[in-house]
């Protein structure tokens, strides 16, 4: 894919975000590559002329570069998935599971993008819809996870959980994480879920602080459909997408989760395997000869 227009999604709360955005713009412009910055993202660097309203952004670009951490890439990936546009993540923090390229390799990486010397890693996404009294009232898309969780002062909540309309369990817990394999290294992992290679399309159901020891994480197929019914009353409960978008639930609301028709297309140079990232991120040590 010839690189002719690039969209930037920037998290200016990250250190060196302004400097890095300017470096990218300065590198791209002499090559006659158009640059747009999502929303009003051009203002912090004095480039209002590059601002592009979110609703027009995807029609202007054929590649998105996210500047920040994994959270910024998640936002960019959800946005770009609707137009099947690839996303390249530049990491401005520590090592991320999704954003692996640091600013020290920026110009080198841009040159490889320009020469089309990269790979596209397609990742499964989730469609999430909320039904209230048999009416769909909210629809969302996630790359990492769909989380149903209680508020800070709420008691344990009850979540009746079905897979393909087969009743599985009613979780009495602080909440429930439904994640993709990509999201297995995020909230699901913190809640005690398994690590799953992102090349394996699956969904993982991980209860958050379950009330009973018998409630365990469950890995299900990519084509399975999950239905979760909020049984609790008078509790503050929300469904959250990738930890970034939220919606308040009411008693008897149904949260439906299934594989999305959209995919996240992540640009990679494949210089670090999933297992190498695990070793570095989780600080695993030791080596066995084989």
Same-domain status, 250 and 170: yes
- Domain span at 34: 5-118+269-281
Cα 217 off chain centre by? 20
Same-domain status, 133 and 256: yes
Same-domain status, 136 and 97: no
Question: How far lies 266's CA from each of 40, 90, 99, 196, 274, in Å?
Answer: 24, 12, 9, 18, 14
Phi/psi of residue 5, nearest 5 degrees: -150, 130
290 inside domain: no
Same-domain status, 108 and 161: no
Same-domain status, 108 and 200: no
193: domain CATH number is 2.60.200.30
133 inside domain: yes
pLDDT at res. 28: 95
166 inside domain: yes
pLDDT at res. 287: 61
User: Catalytic amino acids?
Assistant: 70
pLDDT at res. 288: 54
pLDDT at res. 94: 67
11 CB neighbour count, 10 Å cutoff: 18
288 inside domain: no
Same-domain status, 138 and 89: no
The C-alpha atoms of residue 282 and residue 40 are separated, in whole angstroms, by: 36
61 inside domain: yes
Question: How far lies 101's CA from each of 22, 109, 126, 147, 257, in Å?
Answer: 17, 8, 25, 28, 31
Number of domains in the chain: 2
Same-domain status, 167 and 215: yes
Same-domain status, 189 and 233: yes
The C-alpha atoms of residue 289 and residue 159 are separated, in whole angstroms, by: 46
275: domain CATH number is 3.40.50.10330
Same-domain status, 95 and 132: no
pLDDT tens for each residue of the chain, 290 residues long: 778 999 999 999 998 999 999 999 999 999 999 999 999 999 999 999 999 999 999 999 999 999 999 999 999 999 999 999 999 999 997 667 888 788 888 999 999 999 999 999 999 999 999 999 999 999 999 999 999 999 877 789 999 999 999 999 999 999 999 999 999 999 999 999 999 999 999 999 999 999 998 999 999 999 999 999 999 887 789 999 999 999 999 999 999 999 999 999 999 987 778 888 888 888 887 665 55
Same-domain status, 131 and 250: yes
Same-domain status, 98 and 131: no
The C-alpha atoms of residue 76 and residue 60 are separated, in whole angstroms, by: 15
Same-domain status, 141 and 224: yes
pLDDT at res. 229: 98
């Amino acid at each position: 894919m010839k690189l002719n227009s690039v969209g930037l999604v920037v998290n200016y709360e990250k250190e060196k975000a302004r400097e890095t955005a300017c470096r990218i713009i300065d590198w791209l412009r002499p090559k006659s590559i158009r640059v747009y910055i999502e929303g009003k993202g051009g203002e912090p660097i004095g480039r209002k002329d590059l601002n592009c309203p979110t609703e027009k952004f995807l029609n202007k670009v054929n590649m998105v570069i996210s500047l920040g951490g994994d959270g910024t890439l998640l936002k960019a990936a959800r946005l770009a998935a609707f137009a099947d546009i690839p996303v390249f993540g530049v990491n401005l923090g520590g090592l991320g599971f999704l954003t692996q390229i640091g600013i020290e390799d920026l110009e080198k990486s841009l040159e490889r993008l320009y020469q089309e010397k990269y790979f596209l890693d397609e990742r499964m996404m989730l469609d999430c819809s909320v039904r209230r009294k048999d009416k769909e009232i909210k629809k969302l898309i996630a790359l990492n996870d769909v989380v149903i969780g209680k508020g800070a002062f709420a008691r344990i909540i009850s979540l009746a959980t079905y897979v393909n309309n087969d009743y599985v369990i009613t979780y009495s817990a602080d909440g429930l994480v439904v994640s993709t394999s990509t999201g297995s290294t995020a909230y699901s992992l913190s809640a005690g879920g398994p690590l799953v290679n992102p090349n394996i399309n699956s969904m993982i159901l991980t209860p958050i602080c379950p009330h009973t020891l018998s409630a365990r994480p469950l890995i299900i197929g990519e084509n399975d459909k999950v239905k979760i019914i909020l049984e609790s009353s008078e509790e503050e409960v929300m469904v959250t997408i990738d930890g970034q978008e939220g919606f308040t639930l009411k008693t008897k609301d149904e949260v439906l989760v299934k594989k999305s028709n959209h995919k996240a297309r992540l640009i990679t140079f494949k210089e670090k395997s999933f297992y190498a990232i695990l070793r570095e991120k989780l600080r695993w040590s030791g080596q066995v000869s084989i």
